[in-house]
């Protein structure tokens, strides 16, 4: 009996640990410290960090300053024809913009496609699959509705490469993107209950052991 209780407690704790992923936080204006906004035409700023991101558990956390002070994220995930006109967070499943496999599909190409769909002006972020680098990237746009907006590459998801990266794009959801003010650091009630249950079962097993002669 005690062995079964301890096993159940350890299993609950293991499940709870798996439920929590990593947070990748962006807390400053991505174009701060650059001359992008002072130069005519579109500027693309690279130098992004290389990260490992799991869409099942991990979260991008943004300070509201990144969205011009807005505290609401409007999310869409799909092919370019399915992207609504009022979003500020996009996961773009379209992999090409000109039906020419020789032409690289890079951040400006993806941003141009989005500017042709989005009519609500303002900063935002998008994920796309870069055909030259063969990897998924997170990008900030100073104005998702403008094909002249400056871009800053925020992250390169090195584990989402090749066909694995392409297949992962539909798995992103609104849960992967959070405004910093809503990120309290407290586990969700269901996860907290699971954690408490695991600790309680381990405590019960310990008490059972102490009571035995």
| pLDDT tens, residue by residue, 76-125 | 999 999 999 999 999 999 999 988 878 999 999 999 999 999 999 999 99
CA gap 18, 112 in Å, rounded: 38
Residue 19's pLDDT band, with cuts at 50, 70 and 90, is low
pLDDT of residue 14: 40
* Lowest-pLDDT choice from 52-61, 101-110, 156-165, 187-196: 187-196
Number of residues assigned to the chain: 213
Percent of the residues in the chain that have a pLDDT greater than 70, as a whole number? 76
Mean pLDDT of the chain: 83
Phi and psi angles of residue 129, each rounded to the nearest 5 degrees, phi first = -110, 115
Range 132-153 average pLDDT: 97
Nearest partner of 76 among 122, 30, 151, 128, judged by Cα:
128
Please, which residues have CB within 8 angstroms of residue 66's CB and are 6 or more apart in sequence? 26, 29, 30, 123, 125, 140
Evaluate if residue 180 carries a pLDDT over 50: yes
Region 36-46: mean pLDDT is: 94
pTM, full prediction? 0.77
What six digits make up the tokens of 81?
A: 């024809």
DSSP count for the chain of H helices, then E strands: 4, 10
| CA 200 to chain centroid | 33
| Backbone region of residue 33 per phi and psi (left: phi > 0; alpha: psi in -120 to 50; beta: other values) | left
The confidence score (pLDDT) of residue 112 equals: 97
pLDDT attached to residue 211: 54
Query: Which tokens hold the place of 119?
Result: 């009519």
């Amino acid at each position: 009996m005690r062995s079964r209780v301890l096993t159940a407690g350890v299993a609950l704790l293991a499940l709870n640990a798996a439920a929590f992923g990593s947070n990748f936080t962006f807390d400053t204006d991505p174009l701060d410290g650059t001359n992008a906004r002072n130069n005519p035409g579109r500027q693309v700023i690279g130098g992004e960090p290389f990260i490992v991101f799991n869409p099942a558990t991990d979260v991008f956390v943004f300070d509201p300053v990144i969205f011009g002070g807005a505290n609401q994220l409007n999310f869409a995930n799909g092919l370019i024809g399915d992207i609504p006109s009022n979003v500020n967070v996009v996961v773009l499943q379209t992999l090409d913009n000109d039906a020419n496999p020789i032409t690289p599909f890079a951040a400006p190409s993806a941003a141009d496609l989005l500017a042709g769909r989005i009519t609500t002006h303002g900063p935002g972020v998008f994920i796309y699959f870069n055909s030259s680098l063969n990897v998924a990237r997170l990008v900030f746009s100073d104005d998702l509705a403008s094909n002249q907006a400056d871009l800053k590459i925020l992250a390169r998801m090195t584990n989402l490469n090749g066909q694995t990266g392409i297949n992962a794009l539909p798995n992103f959801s609104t849960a992967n993107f959070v405004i910093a003010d809503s990120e309290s650091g407290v586990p969700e009630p269901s996860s907290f209950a699971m954690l408490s249950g695991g600790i309680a079962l381990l405590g019960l097993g310990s008490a059972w052991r102490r009571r035995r002669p």
